[in-house]
Amino acid sequence: MPASCWFIPILVGYFYRDEYERRRSVLKILVTGGAGFIGSHVVDAYVQLGHEVTIIDNLSTGRRENLHPKARFLEIDVRDAGKVAEIFNATHFDLVNHHAAQMDVRRSVDDPVYDASVNILGVLNLIECCVKNGVLRVLFASSGGAIYGEQDYFPADEQHPTRPISPYGVAKLTTENYLFYYKAVHNLDSVCLRYANVYGPRQNPEGEAGVVAIFASRMLAGASPVINGDGRQTRDYVYVGDVVHANVLALNTAGTRIFNIGTGVESDVNALFRHIRNSTRSNVEELHGPAKKGEQLRSVLDARKIQAALGWKVSVSLEEGLQRTVEYFRSKKRHGG
Ligand SMILES: NC(=O)c1ccc[n+]([C@@H]2O[C@H](COP(=O)([O-])OP(=O)(O)OC[C@H]3O[C@@H](n4cnc5c(N)ncnc54)[C@H](O)[C@@H]3O)[C@@H](O)[C@H]2O)c1
């Protein structure tokens, strides 16, 4: 057999090997929502790994102090299709990590049109640019709690029926469906990470969401936070560092994948209150207010799929994560933040 019979296919394979593999040593990554709580930690990790990161954020809930100095920051709203297109024309991104969102569930109930303008139309602006500009992969911050709704079984795996009971959850599920369509028709890879309740340093204590941040900052200020209803509603609290690790592993994941990111451990609000009270060394009273109408009762995720596929696992226990978060808020308070 002439040498060319085996040599030529190898040569062809070399030049046409996966485009992503070829580009991946230093990726050009666009992180939307990179001034926010989770997005800013993801940016830190990507910069640390040597990737070139651009952030777009409209600073509606994000903060300048969260921005990594080595990342390029553009104050842009994802709803502004023209400006979003300009950035894609100016920089050839390999990957888009989408964390920008209207992420207040109650606001989505009060104003579903606004929610959809950011969480559906804003996402479409980005994905259309990805397709037109040869972006190889989209990572999407989805929500396990919001997508599954009231669960039939505990913990919920990715096969659990999806029955969102808020416009926010509908928008997250719609985006996942769009990403499936864009893979089928335009061959755009995507990884949807369905987060449980994420907590940790930099979470905003001013909003409605983020019970850990709210409880910790109020207790450190000597005030009693109010527990909604009997406090027996449960959530799966996952530390932001573990969520970031999933975003790092997902950089090299091909195809269209959906993974839960949670601990599999259910904690109720009363237990969380007591943990944080211990960590803050506070002696505030346990105060209960009226239950919030329509609030989900139990939510907990099974993350064994990503564990088997990518080796992701929880590395920070609730006690340790709460301690780190309380320390963050304590030091912020000391520095007048
Ligand atoms: N925190 C959680 O427990 C949790 C759980 C599931 C999913 N998520 C998802 O993770 C992502 C990040 O959430 P987070 O907790 O860090 O919230 P966050 O509010 O801190 O981050 C959202 C960021 O998006 C920016 N943003 C909002 N609207 C924008 C717009 N129109 N254009 C550009 N930027 C805009 C905000 O300024 C902010 O920096 C969101 O997509 C959220 O839905 C969060």
DSSP state of 43: H
Q: Using alpha carbons, select from 98, 124, 271 the residue that is nearest to residue 190.
A: 98
* First-to-last C-alpha distance (Å) of the chain: 74
SS3 of 310, please? helix
pLDDT tens digits along 158-200: 999 999 999 999 999 999 999 999 999 999 999 999 999 999 9
pLDDT score of 70 more than 60: yes
Spatial contact of 97 and 31, defined as CB atoms under 8 Å apart? yes
Per-residue burial over 301-315, b if 16 or more Cβ lie within 10 Å, else e, is bbbbbbeeebebebe
pLDDT score of 220 more than 70: yes
Predicted pLDDT of residue 33: 98
Domain ranges for the chain: 25-334
Residue 109 burial (CB count, 10 A): 15
How far is the C-alpha of 34 from the C-alpha of 272, rounded, in Å? Answer: 28
pLDDT score of 15 more than 50: no
Residues with CB under 6 Å of ligand 1 are: 33, 35-39, 57-62, 77-79, 99-103, 118, 122, 141, 143, 195, 197-198, 204
Give rounded-to-5 percent helix, strand, coil for the chain. Answer: 45, 15, 35
**Rg of the chain in Å (alpha carbons):** 21
Q: What percent of the chain has pLDDT over 90?
A: 88
Interval between CA 316 and ligand 1 midpoint (Å)? 22
Predicted pLDDT of residue 102: 97
Predicted pLDDT of residue 209: 76
How far is the C-alpha of 276 from the C-alpha of 326, rounded, in Å? Answer: 8
Q: What is the mean pLDDT of the chain?
A: 93
pLDDT tens digits along 269-296: 999 999 999 999 999 999 999 998 878 8
Interval between CA 103 and ligand 1 midpoint (Å)? 5
CA nearest ligand 1 atom 13, residue: 38
As a whole number, mean pLDDT of residues 15-30 equals 71
Per-residue burial over 36-65, b if 16 or more Cβ lie within 10 Å, else e, is bbbbbbbbbbbbeeebbbbbbbbeebbeee
As a whole number, mean pLDDT of residues 204-214 equals 88
pTM over 0.85: yes
CATH fold of 25-334 reads Rossmann fold (3.40.50)
How far is the C-alpha of 119 from the C-alpha of 117, rounded, in Å? Answer: 6
**Residue to mutate, 68, 99, 147, 197, ligand 1, most ligand atoms under 8 Å from C-beta:** 99
**Residue to mutate, 38, 64, 87, 242, ligand 1, most ligand atoms under 8 Å from C-beta:** 38
Interval between CA 25 and ligand 1 midpoint (Å)? 28
Predicted pLDDT of residue 23: 60
Predicted pLDDT of residue 336: 80
How far is the C-alpha of 294 from the C-alpha of 164, rounded, in Å? Answer: 12
pLDDT tens digits along 94-109: 999 999 999 999 999 9
How far is the C-alpha of 254 from the C-alpha of 96, rounded, in Å? Answer: 14
Predicted pLDDT of residue 292: 87
Atom of ligand 1 nearest to the CA of 168: 43
Per-residue burial over 14-33, b if 16 or more Cβ lie within 10 Å, else e, is eeeeeebeeeeeebebbbbb
> C-alpha dihedral over 238, 270, 232, 328, to 10 degrees?
-30
Predicted pLDDT of residue 16: 44
**If phi over 0 gives left and psi between -120 and 50 gives alpha, with beta otherwise, what is residue 28?**
beta
How far is the C-alpha of 98 from the C-alpha of 39, rounded, in Å? Answer: 8
Spatial contact of 119 and 171, defined as CB atoms under 8 Å apart? yes
Atom of ligand 1 nearest to the CA of 198: 3
Predicted pLDDT of residue 12: 45
What residues are labeled active site? 168
As a whole number, mean pLDDT of residues 308-327 equals 98
The first and second tokens of residue 162, run together, are: 């999806």
Predicted pLDDT of residue 25: 87
Helices marked H in the chain — which ranges?
3-15, 19-23, 37-48, 81-90, 105-110, 112-116, 123-132, 144-148, 167-186, 211-220, 240-249, 269-280, 304-310, 318-334
